[in-house]
Structure 1
Amino acid sequence: MKHKLKCVIVDDEPIALEILTSYIDKTSQLEIIKSCKNASEALVFMQENSADIYF
């Protein structure tokens, strides 16, 4: 299996998070490692983790 790109989703709108999750789940090369509801939550995650793509 090929290396999947690790993704983090950041959005304050629940429907936007759902849409992004749906699209990413349909893309075999991408893997969601975190879904954040605001920038502060994402910043805390970024300080201790790494991802390939942030949406």
Structure 2
Amino acid sequence: MPPDAVGLMTTLGLAAFVGLTGIQAGPSFVSALREAGIGLLRFAPQPAGQYRFDLG
């Protein structure tokens, strides 16, 4: 099998896996977000930014 065909199938397989996982996790994520509140999304960028820019 040509390497380009293998690369295409790998890429499409990964995209399908991520898409299906997101579709399955979506409803539980929305309900958890409603429970925990929007503050959860405001908190997450802070540690990521400190790690990324080495501000810690």
Q: Give TM-score, length-normalised by structure 1.
A: 0.30
- Normalized per residue, the structure richer in strand is 1
Greater length-normalized contact order (CA 8 Å, ≥ 6 residues apart):
1
- Normalized per residue, the structure richer in helix is 2
Q: Give TM-score, length-normalised by structure 2.
A: 0.29
